[in-house]
C-alpha cells in the first residue's frame, strides 16, 4: 500500500462519518495540506475574514504559515491572536482574554494548535456565536472533532457544551514532527476506547445509556487497526500516525454525532478527571490528558480482567441474596462523599452525580438479575471487546506513553484510593459502579493490590 492509498482510505472513512455530523463539514488529513488552508477556508466560509489563534509555539510551528496561506488566497485577515503564556492550559482566564478580541471583529477564528488552543478557541468562538476552523498540530487527544470544550473554571476542569469546528485540517508533515510525547498521549487517549466500550456495554444492558450503534461503529469498527502499530507512533511512522489521527478524529465525530462523550470515554477517563481536579503535578507539571487516561485504561482493564476471571452466574445470585446486608444507603454514600471530597471544590458536583445514579434496592435487584440472566452473552461480549491489562500496558509503553502509575507520579496506594474516588465522580455507569453494585469491592478492586493482584508489588 503506498502513501496515497491509506490517505484515501482514511478520507473515505471520515467522509462517511461526516454524514452524521451537524457541525463539522470538512476534514482534511494528508501531506502538505497547510497549502490548502486558503482553499478550504474560502469554500466553507465564503467572503469572510479570518483571524489566526495560536500560542507562541504553534504560531512558529504552523500559525505563521497558515496566516500567509490565507493572505495568499486573497482572504482578509486580522492580526493573529497569539497567546504568550508559557506552560498554559485551558482555563477560563484565557477564554476571557480571547473572547473580547473575537467580539471586536467578525473574522472567523482559525485555531492552530492541539488540545489547549483548540479548546480555548472552540469555547470562545461559541461565546460570540461563530463557527471556527482548526488546524491541528499534533495527534494528542480526541477533542478536534468533538462537541464541547474542556476548560478549568473555579479550580475544576469542566466540559462546556459548544459546537465542534466547521473545518478540521491536519497536515501530517506537522504531526510527524510533533514531540513524541504528544502523539503518545493521543495514542493512550485512543486505546482508552477499548475499556470505554466495555463500560458502554454495561450501561446499555441496564438501560441508563443505550448504545448508539452508528456512534459505536465510528469508534469501535477500526479501533484495533488504529492501535496496531504503537512502535510506529513512537518512531514517527507516517502511516501509524495517520491511523492515530484518523482514530482520534473519528472518536470526536462520534461524540459530535451522539452528542455525548459516552462514545469515547468510560471509567478510565474518570481517573484522569479525578487527578485533574486534584491538581496533580509530577516533576512540576500536570501530566497530559492522554497520559492520565492511559494509566486509567490499564487500571480499568485490570479490573475487568479480575471480574471476568472470578465472577459467574452464582456471583450474581449471591449478590442478590446479600442486598439486605450490602445495600449502600444514601446516608452511607453521602458520608463517604463528605470524607472523600468534603474539602475539595468537587463536593457539590459529586453529590449531584451520585444522587443521579443512586438506586433503591428493587432497582439494584433488577439490574443484578439482568446481569445474571444475560451473563454468558455479556461475558462473551466483554471478552471480545477487552484486551488483557498486561497487553494494554505493553502497547501503551511501546507508544512511549506511561503505562504504570509511578510514571505519572501516582503511588500504588493513591491509585487504590483513586478507584474509589473515580467511582463517585460521575453518573456514567461503568465497571467501578458494577463492582459496587455487587458488593465485591474488596474481592475485586482491593485484590488488585494484594499478592497475586495486577498492581501488587
The binding site for Zn ion (CB under 5 A) comprises 189
What are 339's three cell numbers?
470524607
Cell matching residue 272: 484522569
CA separation for the pair 162, 143 (Å, rounded): 12
- Closer of 189 and 209 to Zn ion (Cβ): 189
Cβ nearer to Zn ion, comparing 78 with 189: 189
Q: In terms of CB distance, is 45 or 291 closer to Zn ion? A: 291
Residue that is written with C-alpha cell 452464582 in the block: 314
Residue 215 in 3-state DSSP? helix
List the grid coordinates of 29: 488529513
Nearest-approach distance from CB 160 to Zn ion, in angstroms: 15
Query: How deeply is 28 buried, as exposed, middle or buried, from its count of CB atoms within 10 A (0-12, 13-18, 19+)?
Result: middle
In degrees rounded to 5, what are phi and psi of residue 181? -65, -25
Cell readout for 78 is: 486580522
Question: Are β-strands 108-113 and 156-160 bridged in parallel, bridged antiparallel, or unpaired?
Answer: unpaired
Q: How far is the CB of 150 from Zn ion (least distance, A)?
A: 9
The whole-angstrom separation of Cα 231 and Cα 384 is 24
CA dihedral 336, 339, 344, 350 (to 10 degrees): 0
Cα(first)–Cα(last) distance of the chain, in Å? 45
Smallest gap from residue 189 Cβ to Zn ion (A): 4
Which three-class secondary structure state does DSSP give residue 408? helix
* Residue in the shown chain whose Cβ atom is closest to Zn ion: 189
Could you tell me how many residues make up the chain? Answer: 457
Using CA atoms, how far apart are residues 106 and 121, in angstroms rounded to an integer?
15
Buried b (16+ CB within 10 A) or exposed e, 164-200: bbbbbbbbbebbbebeebbbbbbbbbbbbbbbbbbbb
Rounded Cα–Cα distance for residues 399 and 305 (Å): 22
Instruction: Compute the least distance from the CB of residue 318 to Zn ion, in Å.
Output: 36
Q: State the nearest-atom distance from the C-beta of 350 to Zn ion, in Å.
A: 20
Give the nearer residue to Zn ion in terms of CB position, either 52 or 145.
145
Work out how close the CB of 359 gets to Zn ion at its nearest, in angstroms, rounded to a whole number: 28
What is the crossing angle of helices 238-258 and 3-18, to 10°? 0
Instruction: Please state the closest distance from residue 141 (CB atom) to Zn ion, in A.
Output: 6
- φ, ψ at 135 (rounded to 5°): -110, 105
DSSP per residue, 270-298? HHHHHHHHTT--BTTBPPPHHHHHHHHHH
The answer to whether 208 and 429 are in contact (CB under 8 A) is: yes
Closest to Zn ion by CB, 143 or 230: 143
Nearer CB in complex with Zn ion: 189/199: 189
Minimum distance of Zn ion from residue 288's CB (angstroms): 10
Considering the complex, state which of residue 185 and residue 346 has its C-beta at the smaller distance from Zn ion.
185
Q: Which residue, 152 or 437, is less far from Zn ion as judged by CB?
A: 152
Q: Which is nearer to Zn ion, 77 or 418 (CB)?
A: 418
CA nearest neighbour of 51 among 65, 70, 35, 36: 70
Q: Which is nearer to Zn ion, 171 or 276 (CB)?
A: 276
- Provide, rounded to whole angstroms, the least separation between the CB of residue 369 and Zn ion: 33
Instruction: Provide, rounded to whole angstroms, the least separation between the CB of residue 167 and Zn ion.
Output: 22
Amino acid at each position: 500500500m503506498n502513501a496515497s492509498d491509506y490517505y484515501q482510505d482514511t478520507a473515505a472513512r471520515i467522509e462517511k462519518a461526516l454524514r452524521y455530523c451537524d457541525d463539522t463539514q470538512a476534514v482534511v488529513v494528508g501531506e502538505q495540506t497547510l497549502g490548502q488552508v486558503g482553499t478550504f477556508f474560502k469554500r466553507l466560509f465564503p467572503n469572510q475574514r479570518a483571524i489566526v489563534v495560536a500560542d507562541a509555539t504553534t504560531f512558529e510551528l504552523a500559525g505563521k504559515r497558515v496566516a500567509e496561506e490565507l493572505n495568499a488566497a486573497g482572504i482578509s485577515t486580522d492580526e493573529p491572536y497569539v497567546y504568550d503564556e508559557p506552560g498554559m492550559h485551558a482555563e477560563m482566564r484565557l477564554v476571557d482574554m480571547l473572547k473580547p478580541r473575537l467580539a471586536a471583529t467578525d473574522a472567523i477564528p482559525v485555531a492552530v494548535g492541539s488540545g489547549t488552543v483548540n479548546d480555548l478557541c472552540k469555547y470562545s468562538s461559541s461565546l460570540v456565536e461563530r463557527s471556527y476552523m482548526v488546524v491541528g498540530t499534533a495527534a494528542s487527544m480526541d477533542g478536534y472533532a468533538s462537541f464541547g470544550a474542556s476548560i478549568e473554571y473555579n479550580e475544576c476542569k469542566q466540559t462546556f457544551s459548544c459546537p465542534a469546528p466547521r473545518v478540521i485540517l491536519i497536515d501530517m508533515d506537522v504531526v510527524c514532527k510533533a514531540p513524541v510525547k504528544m502523539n503518545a498521549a493521543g495514542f493512550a487517549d485512543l486505546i482508552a476506547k477499548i475499556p470505554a466500550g466495555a463500560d458502554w456495554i454495561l450501561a446499555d444492558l441496564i438501560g441508563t445509556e443505550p448504545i448508539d450503534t452508528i456512534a459505536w461503529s465510528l469508534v469501535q469498527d477500526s479501533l484495533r487497526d488504529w492501535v496496531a502499530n504503537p512502535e510506529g507512533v513512537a518512531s514517527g511512522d507516517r502511516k501509524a500516525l495517520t491511523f492515530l489521527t484518523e482514530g482520534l478524529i473519528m472518536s470526536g465525530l462520534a461524540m459530535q454525532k451522539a452528542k455525548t462523550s459516552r462514545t469515547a470515554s468510560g471509567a478510565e477517563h474518570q481517573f484522569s478527571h479525578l487527578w485533574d481536579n486534584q491538581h496533580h503535578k509530577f516533576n512540576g507539571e500536570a501530566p497530559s490528558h492522554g497520559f492520565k487516561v492511559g494509566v486509567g485504561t490499564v487500571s480499568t482493564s485490570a479490573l475487568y480482567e479480575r471480574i471476568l476471571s472470578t465472577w459467574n452466574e452464582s456471583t450474581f445470585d449471591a449478590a442478590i441474596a446479600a442486598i439486605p446486608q450490602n445495600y449502600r444507603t444514601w446516608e452511607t454514600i453521602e458520608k463517604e462523599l463528605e470524607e472523600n471530597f468534603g474539602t475539595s471544590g468537587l463536593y457539590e458536583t459529586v453529590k449531584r452525580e451520585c444522587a443521579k445514579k443512586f438506586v433503591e434496592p428493587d432497582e439494584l435487584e433488577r439490574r443484578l438479575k439482568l446481569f445474571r440472566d444475560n451473563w454468558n452473552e455479556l461475558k462473551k461480549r466483554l471478552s471480545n471487546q477487552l484486551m488483557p491489562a498486561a497487553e494494554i500496558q505493553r502497547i501503551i509503553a511501546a507508544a512511549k506513553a506511561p503505562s504504570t502509575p509511578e510514571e505519572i507520579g501516582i503511588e500504588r496506594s493513591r491509585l487504590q484510593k483513586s478507584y474509589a474516588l473515580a467511582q463517585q465522580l460521575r453518573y456514567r455507569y461503568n465497571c467501578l459502579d458494577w463492582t459496587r453494585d455487587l458488593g465485591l469491592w474488596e474481592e475485586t478492586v482491593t485484590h488488585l493490590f494484594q499478592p497475586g493482584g495486577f498492581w501488587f508489588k
